[in-house]
Amino acid sequence: MISAQAQERILDDFEQPLAWKAVVSDGVTASASGAPGVDGQGMRFDFDFGSAAGYAAARRALPLDFEGDYAISFWMRADAALNNFEMKLVDASGDNVWWVNRPNFAISREWQKVAFKKRHIDFAWGPAKDRTLRRTERMELVVSAGRDGGRGSLWIDDLRMRAIAPAGPPPEPVMSTTPGAVTVDYGVPREFGGIVLHWADGLHAARYDVAFSDDGSTWRTVRKVLDGTGGADPLLLGESEARYVRVTMPDAPAQRYQLERIELKDLAYGASANSFFQALAKEAPRGHYPRGMSGQQNYWTVLGVDGGRETGLISEDGAIEAARAGFTIEPFVIDSGKLATWADVTMSQSLQDGYLPIPSVSWTAPRWQLRTSAFAQGTPATSQLIARYDLANTSDFPLTLRLVLALRPLQVNPPMQFLNTPPGVSPIRALAWNGDSFAVDGVTRVWSLAVPGLAGVSSFDHAAIPARLAGDGWSALRRVDDEAGFASGALAYDVTLAPRATAVFGLALPLNGQPGAPQLAGATPEQWLTAMQDEVAEQWRARLNRVSITVPAAAQPLVDTLRSSLAHILMTRDGAALMPGTRSYARSWIRDGAMMSEAMLRLGNDNVARNYAYWFAQYQFANGKIPCCVDRRGSDPVPENDSQGEFIFLVAQLWRYTHDRELVTRLWPRVKAAAAYMEQQRQSERSAANLAPQRRMLYGLLPASISHEGYSAKPMHSNWDNFWGLRGYRDAAMLAALLNRAADAATLRAQGDQFERELLASLRLSASTHGIDYLAGAAELGDFDPTSTTIALSPGGLQQRLPQDLLHGTFERYWREAVARRDGRREWNDYTPYELRNVAAFVRLGWRGRAHELLDFFMRDRRPVAWNQWAEVVGRAARAPRFVGDMPHGWISSDYIRSALDLFAYERESDQSLIVADGIPAAWLDGAGVGVRGLRTAYGTLDYTIRAEARGIGMTIGGKMSRPPGGVLLRVLDERWRAARTTINGKRAYWRGGELRIGALPATVFIAVDHPKGKP
């Protein structure tokens, strides 16, 4: 055991490198061996990711105690592409892990010393409530697939741990001035993240160098400034350590300068570019930096074409992000010499036609209004973002205004986001204005549709944007190289507007491929922009209205949000890959994809689901395992045991909706292999150990996994996995029978029957063991998770076979808690709109009124409401900064689509019936009533209308569909219907148990009951 209190101890000199064992994920190979080190013997670690997005770890037992402050160091070199590097420390349980995680870590081909201090080590995961690092038993040095993946080798040597003595009060710094230089001696080495130079008024240096030294004689230059503007010059220096800081001014002594103070900033200031800009935003006038940099939560939506690899974003404040992790174009307006920002106006948002993916942001000031609109035009291979700016004089007098469009090294995706795509700052090292376009880091990225009155670029040090946009002189530079990587630029359009007049300006930004300069062909910018917008709008109208649903005006937002949700899924997909998002979740999970595919099928987008199934299938592991997710690196090896059932369900749904036998035949070997892998998993839990009373509830379930986010700290036997698994067995058996594979079908049915018996027994036993009256989320926890439990109903099809007392107990409790949250009687900070699945569950349970109350609550939490979308996380305090995931979130879009469509029609598996109009409130029947046309079901397309007539309720049902085995069912929307005289095609029909079964289509149904207007 090594204590950190020792001054410095060798933890491993690697003279016995075989003490380290290679541990890999599926599809990855690795080995550890001896090799020449930095001083004698070292370890060589070879890895090959193949086509997987996995990891390779060198692991050894290494007990460590952690006390006080310390640093762990080792020497390392590599012959490898850019990948992620991790140092993991694991406790005795193996469940709790602390780590240092360096994404895309550049490792030199020459030996370099790597040191991780106490502050670098974070709790990674585990069930421990006390996350203080005190003792671990194992160390792992890990390479995981990052930007490049591939294969490579690491050499590691001389692993040490050094105690760091507590620092006393630092001595007073001593500043000395010599001709052309100012030096500060801090007395002892100091750690800091940046500095701020404070110049005397009018006595600043435009050019200077900043250097560090540990001994006062050997200096290293860390920053060069070429065009400083005086006042306070903030400099981001990352994690720095030095005793001496020197500022050298090459123009002295020819000119006189006065540097009054060098202010050291703490490590947090320079922890990242985002930390730096957030610190600057706190000191700047509100509105000079985006809302997300200024300590407030901001919201945004996606801009893209169907299936395009690249997408843009537009913020609720009107900033447009050019591409993933790209720069933004941010609008400002100058009125009478005063700069107006998002913070100075009244803001509103809208979508064209109320649902098309052509969003707008309107700024309203006392005398003018600016509407920023944006959309993507083109194909997945070649597309562009188009930004339109309508600047209107809303006064009764002529008005001279300046519209400024600033190109800034900041994303719409704010610093609070932390997954996958680095958020916040978007570095720009070279920026040039070429007369009609901006080139960013050497590539033309922005075209102006009209010649601006002023155009220019600025380095970060020059600080022209946005601070001096209201004046002159900022546009003198046409090209800048910025050492800090924070260059910016601006275009200014000066216009004098007559009363109530509008001027239109526009930009085009290449998105996918290289569309080239926009060709106006003699049109004005306004004419060209209008033509492009009309073309895009018409394309989306055709795509989003394959299914037509008409409802009363009060319910129109439900239908508009459904159509917008479809557009969001189409825009967030990357080619065939369905993805829940474009930034944080820019990868494809099979669980998301399977449910998004079902939404696609129900809305008539068969090819989207078909192409996705073929694309994802190719990433199946050789042992039959379906990866939880796939990205550009390949298959992710994390064991998430819902994956097999979801993939099989996807194939089965494609058959049900398309009857594509060729697809089933081609994918059957993969379905069979996935089912066999799942059976192997399930049988591993049918062990003697799981027959013990305390473990009996685990018997026969799928193994513990982290497919459910709530169990990421420690894998659990999640019933989410089990419901999906049972669905997979049933669907695999159906597909086998379809292909006349009788033996396979019989085997799979038997396995599914056994699984169902043991799952239902586990649900009951878990409830009694934990003393609960609901269906447990995980067998061993007895936790309450109704949103995951919805899978048991749809697509699980288990509603009639589940323990009914536990089923109703689950959703009764959820209803009580949801009402308490809605009415402010329950404290909450945030929730995930995956809860939209409960709306469909309520419809299926016959709780129509409750379903709509839930839906009303969720609809109010769209952000912004007019953009018809949800983030993955919705906070109670809308402006409190937090991680929100992607906006929109494609999986949540699919949850909404599936629940919204269930209001109009859904299939009941227990009797293979199609239930229609079950979620329609009686009040919707007034006037024109409700109409559905072209809605896809497993039996074909469904059409119907239902409305209140003079003497009762009239309904027509038809479409191009075969008769469901259980018929079409109508359930009572009004209790008086049970006893009302009812006819089907003119013949008397009867309600049984509150249901009217319609055996043949087309059909006309008439229910002779008065319908008081507006009765709910």
Determine the Cα angle at 226 with ends 225 and 229, to 5°: 85
The yes-or-no verdict on residue 861 having pLDDT over 90 is yes
Give the per-residue SS3 of 3-48: ECCCCEEEEECCCCHHHCEEEECCCCEEEEEEEECCCCEEEEEEEE
Of 407, 148, 411, nearest in space to 273 by CA: 411
Of 531, 529, 559, nearest in space to 547 by CA: 559
Domains and CATH numbers, the chain: 2-164 (2.60.120.430), 174-271 (2.60.120.260), 290-544 (2.70.98), 639-826 (no CATH), 905-1008 (2.60.420)
Question: How are the residues of the chain apportioned to helix, strand and coil, as percentages rounded to the nearest 5?
Answer: 25, 35, 40
**pLDDT, tens digit, 9 for 90 and up, residues 517-535:** 999 999 999 999 999 999 9
| Alpha carbon distance 686, 429 (integer Å) | 60
Give the per-residue SS3 of 431-496: EEECCCEEEECCEEEEEECCCCCEEEEECCCCCCCCCCCCCCCCCCCCEEECCCCECEEEEEEEEE
Per DSSP, 719 falls in state H
Whole-number pLDDT of residue 73: 96
**pLDDT, tens digit, 9 for 90 and up, residues 228-269:** 999 999 999 999 999 999 999 988 777 889 999 999 999 999
The yes-or-no verdict on residue 1015 having pLDDT over 50 is no
| Alpha carbon distance 195, 477 (integer Å) | 27
Instruction: Decide if 487 contacts 460 (C-beta within 8 A).
Output: yes
Per DSSP, 871 falls in state -
**pLDDT, tens digit, 9 for 90 and up, residues 636-654:** 888 899 999 999 999 999 9
Whole-number pLDDT of residue 959: 95
The band of 403, judged by pLDDT with boundaries at 50, 70 and 90, is: very high
CA atoms within 13 A on the CB side of 263: 13
Whole-number pLDDT of residue 1012: 55
The yes-or-no verdict on residue 979 having pLDDT over 70 is yes
**pLDDT, tens digit, 9 for 90 and up, residues 767-801:** 999 999 999 999 999 999 999 999 999 999 999 99
Instruction: Decide if 943 contacts 546 (C-beta within 8 A).
Output: no
pTM of the model: 0.94
Helix (H) or strand (E) run with residue 481 in it: strand 479-481
Return the structure tokens found at 617.
């299938």
Strands 320-321 and 312-315: antiparallel
**Residue 108: CB atoms within 10 Å:** 10
- Residue-wise over 110-137: b if at least 16 C-beta within 10 A, else e? eeeebebbeeebeebebebeeeebeebe
- Kindly report the average pLDDT of the chain as a whole number: 95
**pLDDT, tens digit, 9 for 90 and up, residues 706-720:** 998 889 889 999 999
Per DSSP, 130 falls in state -
Return the structure tokens found at 497.
């507007």
The yes-or-no verdict on residue 137 having pLDDT over 70 is yes
Instruction: Decide if 256 contacts 208 (C-beta within 8 A).
Output: no
| Alpha carbon distance 752, 733 (integer Å) | 8
Whole-number pLDDT of residue 783: 97
**pLDDT, tens digit, 9 for 90 and up, residues 338-352:** 999 999 999 999 999
Return the structure tokens found at 465.
């944007």
Cβ-Cβ contacts under 8 Å for 746 (sequence gap 6 or more): none
Residue with tokens 């009609």: 436
| Alpha carbon distance 292, 48 (integer Å) | 40
The band of 32, judged by pLDDT with boundaries at 50, 70 and 90, is: very high
The yes-or-no verdict on residue 1011 having pLDDT over 60 is no
% of the chain with per-residue pLDDT over 70 = 99
| Alpha carbon distance 407, 497 (integer Å) | 25
The band of 847, judged by pLDDT with boundaries at 50, 70 and 90, is: very high
Q: Could you report how far apart the first and last alpha carbons of the chain are, in Å? A: 72
| Alpha carbon distance 815, 851 (integer Å) | 9
Instruction: Decide if 133 contacts 84 (C-beta within 8 A).
Output: no
The band of 167, judged by pLDDT with boundaries at 50, 70 and 90, is: confident
Which phi-psi region, left, alpha or beta, contains residue 76 (left: φ > 0; alpha: ψ -120 to 50)?
A: beta
Residue with tokens 């892990």: 97
| Alpha carbon distance 895, 918 (integer Å) | 18
% of the chain with per-residue pLDDT over 90 = 90
The yes-or-no verdict on residue 51 having pLDDT over 90 is no
| Alpha carbon distance 375, 385 (integer Å) | 6
| Alpha carbon distance 699, 755 (integer Å) | 10
**pLDDT, tens digit, 9 for 90 and up, residues 668-703:** 999 999 999 999 999 999 999 999 998 999 999 999
**pLDDT, tens digit, 9 for 90 and up, residues 498-520:** 999 999 999 999 999 987 899 99
Helices (H) and strands (E) in the chain, counts: 14, 52
